[in-house]
Every structure is written in C-alpha cells, then in structure tokens.
Structure 1
Amino acid sequence: MKSKALFFSCVFLFLAGYCQAQVAYGAKDTIKVATTNYNGEIIPWVVIGEVTVVDRRTFKSQEDYDKYRRLRYNVLKVLPYARFAGQRYRQLERDLALTNDKRKQKQLIKSCDKEIKDLFNDKIKNLTISQGEILIKLVDRETGNSSYQLVKDLKGNVSAFVVQSVAKIFGHDLRNKYDVDQEMDIEGIIHSAGYYTYQ
C-alpha cells in the first residue's frame, strides 16, 4: 500500500514538473509594446482608442422627451444626405481646382448636380419642413458654406436668388450658418450616432 502511494506521489510530482516545464515562453508568446524610460525604469504603454463618457440625459417632461425623439429621428434621417453632399462638394472642389477650362468646369458642375438629383430627388422632395431645415443646417456643417453660398458658387446669383425665394416660402433661410453652440442637441445626436468629424 505504501509503495502504491509512493508511486502515485512520484507520478504526480513528475507530471507537475512536466506541466511547469511546458510554460516556457517562446517567440510567439511575446507581446511587443512601446516603452518609456522614466527615471531608469522601463514602463510599457499601449495606445487605446478614444473613450467618450456621456451622461444620461434627463428631461423635464414627457413633451420634452418626445420633442427630442422627433429631432433625433429627423437628424438621423437627413444626415446621410448631408454627408454625401459634403463629400461630393469636396470632390467637386478638387476636380475644379485641377482644371482652368471654363467649359470643363461647367461640365463637372452639371454632372455633380445631376448625380445628386438622381440619387436624392425623390427622397428629398418627401422630406417634412423640419427635416428640410435640419438638412440645410447639416449641409452647412459638412461643407463649411451655407446652402445659399453653395448654390451661388455652383449655379450663379440668379439661381441662388430663386432657390432662396422658394425656401423663404416654406419658412427657411438658406443663408443661415450652422452654429455648434446653438445646435447642441443636433451636435449631440450626431456624436451619439458615431459621426465626429466635419469639414
């Protein structure tokens, strides 16, 4: 009986030593990280992504909460249009900068205008008045220019005047600029949706 216990003890000790020997570190077990020498001490550091801490928003009343939800819905509905318009406008600016030929520039502007109309004409026509107002603000946010200035630059003074007159009928002003401080709710909604950059 003692010999069996001694045998199992030896086997157990042998297996325990064998398992510890298997914990050796090799080339693939090493994680390379950047280090900093601080007062003779090597300190490893790892870059992590930005973390945004947002407080939970409280509302004074159910009416305020419903108003915010409507605003969030409207912003998220028109945001893709504004982002596409901003990207397309920046692309058009780059294309126009590469040519001095006035005829070629007019063709570029016309093709850009047609592309945007073909993609969004039906969808933008079905926007509500408040969604249209938000779209005007977001286009300014994305491009850095008011909608009036964009139309004026691309189509001329007469077209800008006509479009501004039509917008006024619906209670909009295309000359309004996007102000981050005044539009904190819209800015917060955009950030919560994961869109941080503009211009």
Structure 2
Amino acid sequence: MDDSITVIVMPELPVYPPLKFKNAREIRRYNRLVYNVKKTLPIAKRVNAIIAETYEILEQLPDKKAKDKHIREVEKSIRQQYEPEMRKLTYSQGKLLIKLIDRECNQSSYEIVKAFFGPAKAVFYQIFAFTFRASLKKEYKPETDDKLIERVVRQVEAGQL
C-alpha cells in the first residue's frame, strides 16, 4: 500500500472581469495593444536574459580591461542580432518595449545602458530617444498608468491571449 499523495502545482492564472469598451475605436486600441505586447514582450525577456548572463560573466573577469572588451563584444553581438528586428518596430512598439524592459529587469533602460556602457553612452541614447519623443528613463507603473498593459502581459504569459 502506498502512503504518498500526488501534488500537482498549477500555474497562477490571472482572472479579470471582462473589459467594457465604449466604441469600436477603443476595441481597435486594445487589439493593437495586445498585438504590440505579443511582439515586444519576448524581446524584453531576451534583454533580461542577456543582462543576467552578461553580469555573471563580468563578475568572473579579472580586470577592467577584460570587462570592457567583453562589453564591446556583447554590444557588437547585440547590434548584429537585434538591430534589424528593432528597426522594424513602430514608434508605439518602441515606447512599449522601453516599459516592458523596465518591467522585466526592474530598472529603466537608461540605468541599464549607464551600468554597462557608461554615463556618456546613456546620455547619447537618451538624447536619441528624446528626438523620437520617447525616454529611456520611462518607468513601468503596473498599479496606475500601465494597468491595462500589465493585464495584457499577464494574460499573454498565461496563454489566455
């Protein structure tokens, strides 16, 4: 006779009340948000993985020269691999990506660039983003401003959308 009990851990599934839209325009905006989240969330998750991997490697390198060399190699690799994909993003997808990177990494894109590439490059990229009316310092606020984005992200992660 077996005295064990089988335990199955089920993933947490978010449950939200149905959305109520005032008009067709709001439905289109919501559908566009879902599309944009599905397109940019995987990129934000890859950015988080790259940052974690790079940080681990940097911790093992002996001196600043080796660390700087590795950072340059990572930057070159990222440019080659992701630049074509980034160029295809729309303006709103780029702004959403900045927020989702903050969500995934718990720090703004500006802070990430500053930590890895230095303050001069961070300022340069911030100015570049500013020319497109965006900001690398934009924070993700799931409790207030980005409530709908958080809802969509959770539903996409759970496979509900």
Q: TM-score range by the shorter chain?
A: 0.7 to 0.9
Matches within 5 A, 1:69-80: 69-80=31-42
Distance 1:160 1:31 in 2: 61
Q: Quick one: which of 152, 158, 161 aligns to 1:189?
A: 152
Distance 2:2 2:133 in 1: 61
Distance 2:92 2:80 in 1: 23
In structure 2, the residue matched to 1:49 is 10
> How much has 1:48 moved relative to structure 2?
4.2
Distance 2:2 2:99 in 1: 48
Residues 152-186 of structure 1: CA deviation (Å, up to 9, x unaligned):
11111221111111111100011111111121111
TM-score (norm 1): 0.72
Aligned residues of 1:85 and 1:116 also touching (Cα < 8 A): no
- Superposed CA RMSD in Å reads 2.1
In structure 2, the residue matched to 1:129 is 91
Matches within 5 A, 1:168-187: 168-181=130-143, 182-187=145-150
- Partner SS state of residue 180, structure 1: coil
Distance 1:172 1:51, change over 3 A: closer
Matches within 5 A, 1:131-150: 131-150=93-112
Higher relative contact order (CA 8 A, sep 6+): 2
Distance 1:56 1:32, change over 3 A: farther
Aligned residues of 1:72 and 1:189 also touching (Cα < 8 A): yes
TM-score (norm 2): 0.87
> How much has 1:134 moved relative to structure 2?
0.4
Dislocated runs of 4+, deviation >6 Å? none
Amino acid at match of 2:26: D
Note the residue ranges of structure 2 that are not aligned, 5 or more in a row. Answer: none
Note the residue ranges of structure 1 that are not aligned, 5 or more in a row. Answer: 1-29, 35-44
How many residue pairs get aligned? The number is 157
Distance 2:2 2:23 in 1: 53
Residues 86-122 of structure 1: CA deviation (Å, up to 9, x unaligned):
1000111111122241111112212221222122101
Distance 1:58 1:171, change over 3 A: same
Distance 1:94 1:194 in 2: 26
> How much has 1:32 moved relative to structure 2?
5.5
> How much has 1:187 moved relative to structure 2?
1.1
Amino acid at match of 2:154: H
In structure 2, the residue matched to 1:107 is 69
> How much has 1:84 moved relative to structure 2?
0.5
Amino acid at match of 1:187: E
Aligned residues of 1:90 and 1:143 also touching (Cα < 8 A): no
Aligned residues of 1:137 and 1:177 also touching (Cα < 8 A): yes
Distance 2:10 2:2 in 1: 19
